[in-house]
Amino acid sequence: MQNKKAQVWVETVIYTLIAFVLIGTVLAFVRPKIEEFQDKAIIEQTIVALEEINSVIRSMVQGGEGNTRIVELGIKKGILKIDGETDKLIFEIESRYAYGEDKQDILVGNIMTYTENKGKFNLVILTLDYSDKYEITYQNTSTLKLINKATTPYKLLISNYGKKETPKTKIDFKVI
């Protein structure tokens, strides 16, 4: 009688271990695919957000000097760079998803996309280049500002300061 009870417990433990191994194996293959789909969604949402920022900047320039707008920007993964030195907005994300061919520039609307394979991850860079149109600043300085991921959306105050010191229209960003 004791042997039968022990046998039942041993079988239960073995079946439980087999179930855990199967679940672990499935997760090992499925999890990277889920992360890839999440990264693809983040990249596509960021492209839409950058296009919205671009649209706001263009409408502000048409509206004239002194125009300001507030744009909400959620960053769930990656880094947004407001580069006042090169007059660019750059979004970088390390992703399982390759948005385009390796080391090839692809123009999507007004955004230049670049993907570089880094092993099992890809570095995806989205760039809005304003160097020929506008002078981009962050809080009135031509510096590099990094905006990291956050749980709550950022509020960007974008201002049009006109063409006071340079031949290009000065567009200033500020996180509020």
Residue 6's pLDDT band, with cuts at 50, 70 and 90, is confident
If phi over 0 gives left and psi between -120 and 50 gives alpha, with beta otherwise, what is residue 119?
left
User: What band does 1 get if pLDDT is binned at 50, 70 and 90?
Assistant: low
Across 119-139, average pLDDT: 93
Predicted pLDDT at 162: 86
Question: How high is the pLDDT of residue 36?
Answer: 93
Distance (Å) of CA 165 to CA 25, 57, 102, 170, 171: 62, 19, 40, 9, 12
What domain range is 73 assigned to? 2-175
> Higher-confidence residue: 166 or 127?
127
Helix (H/G/I), strand (E/B), else coil: 31: helix
- Of all residues in the chain, the percent with pLDDT exceeding 70 is 98
Question: CB of 137 within 8 A of CB of 156?
Answer: no
pTM, full prediction: 0.81
pLDDT score, position 73: 92
C-alpha atoms less than 13 angstroms from C-alpha of 81 in its C-beta half-sphere: 18
Mean pLDDT over 123-144 rounds to 93
What are the tokens at 99? 């948005």
Taking residue 168's Cβ as centre, other Cβ atoms within 10 Å add up to 15
* pLDDT cut 90: percent of the chain above it: 73
Average pLDDT over residues 102-124: 92
Counting the structural domains of the chain, the total is 1
pLDDT at 138 over 60: yes
